[in-house]
């Protein structure tokens, strides 16, 4: 995942969400819409917006962060209809089409392991933490590069409530396993449930956060409702969705993609244009929303966050620890 710096995206290249929402009125008025709007940019989607859980529920008391503050976000439709979420389907449109099956209430998250105050917290209480304390509203991009105005709270602030001990060297995350709500789990494509993990210092970094929404609204199912991890300096598969378990551990946890193909998907998964995937180069990436097929641009080290996070990996061989 990556954050764009000011000036890297031209506002003129992005269709505003409000314009898209009012498209029918514009057509009636004889103004028409652009081909990029109808086709959905790089995704090539002409389908309607799919309504996920709590689609129109607003999140109050938002506090904008400085990261990406001056950037124009990718339109809502592209963000919510072009997704990787195998639990809800295997095509890019499938998660949005199946999001209505994912019921996110009731929902709770169990925190356990090397901590003084393990316990279970309800998603509604997490949302209250958002409103009572601090909100992150970041504009960042997925692996195929789209600027997302996330809403959430710092992961470190959340974890500190459970008082991790000196043996807590890593944090492990787990996605819900429930084939009735996640039909993709009926197929043995992955070793369910999906698992991810990070070092404790990565988890405590100010850029690591838990997302509860986007575009000022409660998070749609296709984007990982009701709670997902966002690590903007890492590749998208590290940002685990629909979290139900968080565990502090003294050993590096096994993670889904690293266990399946460790030579292709490293544990750290830091964005690094100098380290290619065995089957493709990662020096450039495609930008969603720029024409039918999307344009490409150079990939930046740590997705442009080198100044903030490079210190976490001082002295490490980033080609070996990819």
Q: Of 12-16, 21-25, 127-131, where does the model show the most confidence?
A: 127-131
Q: Average pLDDT, whole number, for the chain?
A: 81
- Whole-structure pTM value: 0.82
Kindly list the structural domains of the chain, giving each domain's residue range(s) and its CATH number in brackets, ordered by start: 11-310 (3.90.420.10)
Q: Of 9-13, 35-39, 135-139, 148-152, where does the model show the most confidence?
A: 148-152
Q: For 127-136, how does the pLDDT look when each residue is reduced to its tens digit (9 = 90+)?
A: 888 665 455 5
- Distance between CA atoms of 248 and 74, rounded to whole angstroms? 35
Q: For 39-50, how does the pLDDT look when each residue is reduced to its tens digit (9 = 90+)?
A: 222 222 222 333
- Distance between CA atoms of 197 and 27, rounded to whole angstroms? 48
Using pLDDT thresholds of 50, 70 and 90, give the confidence band for residue 19: very low
- Bigger pLDDT: 33 vs 243: 243
Say if residue 230's pLDDT is above 90. Answer: yes
Share of the chain above pLDDT 90, in %: 58
Q: Return the closest-CA partner of residue 151 out of 163, 139, 164, 159.
A: 139
Q: Return the closest-CA partner of residue 98 out of 109, 83, 113, 110.
A: 83
Contact (CB, 8 A) for 71 and 6: yes
Q: Are strands 295-298 and 284-287 parallel, antiparallel or unpaired?
A: antiparallel
Q: What is the pLDDT of residue 58?
A: 86
Q: For 87-144, how does the pLDDT look when each residue is reduced to its tens digit (9 = 90+)?
A: 999 999 999 999 999 999 999 999 999 999 999 999 999 988 866 545 555 655 455 7
- The dihedral over CA atoms of 14, 6, 151, 176, expressed in degrees to the nearest 10, equals 80
- The dihedral over CA atoms of 223, 227, 233, 235, expressed in degrees to the nearest 10, equals -50
């Amino acid at each position: 995942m990556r954050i764009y710096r000011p000036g890297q995206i031209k506002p003129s290249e992005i269709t505003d969400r409000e314009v898209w929402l009012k498209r029918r009125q514009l057509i009636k008025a004889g103004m028409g819409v652009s081909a990029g709007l109808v086709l959905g940019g790089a995704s090539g989607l002409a389908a309607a917006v799919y309504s996920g859980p709590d689609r129109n529920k607003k999140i109050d008391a938002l506090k904008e962060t400085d990261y990406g503050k001056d950037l124009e976000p990718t339109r809502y439709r592209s963000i919510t209809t072009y997704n990787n979420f195998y639990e809800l389907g295997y095509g890019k449109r499938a998660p949005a089409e199946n999001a209505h099956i994912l019921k996110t209430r009731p929902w709770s998250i169990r925190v356990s392991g090397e901590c003084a105050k393990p316990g279970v917290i309800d998603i509604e209480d997490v949302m209250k933490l958002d409103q009572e304390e601090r909100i992150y509203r970041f504009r960042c991009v997925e692996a195929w590069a789209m600027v997302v105005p996330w809403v959430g709270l710092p992961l470190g602030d959340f974890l500190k409530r459970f008082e991790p001990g000196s043996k807590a060297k890593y944090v492990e995350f787990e996605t819900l396993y429930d084939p009735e709500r996640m039909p993709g789990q009926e197929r043995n494509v992955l070793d369910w449930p999906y698992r991810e993990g990070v070092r404790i210092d990565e988890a405590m970094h100010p850029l690591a956060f838990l997302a509860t929404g986007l575009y000022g609204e409660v998070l749609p199912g296709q984007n990982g409702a009701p709670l997902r991890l966002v690590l903007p300096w890492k590749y998208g598969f590290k940002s685990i969705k629909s979290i139900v378990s968080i565990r502090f551990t003294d050993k590096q946890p096994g993670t889904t993609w690293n266990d399946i193909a460790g030579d292709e998907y490293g544990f750290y998964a830091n964005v690094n244009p100098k380290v290619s995937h065995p089957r493709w180069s990662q020096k450039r990436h495609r930008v969603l929303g720029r024409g039918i097929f999307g344009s490409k641009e150079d990939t930046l080290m740590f997705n442009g966050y080198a100044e903030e996070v490079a210190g976490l990996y001082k002295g490490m061989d980033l080609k070996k620890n990819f």
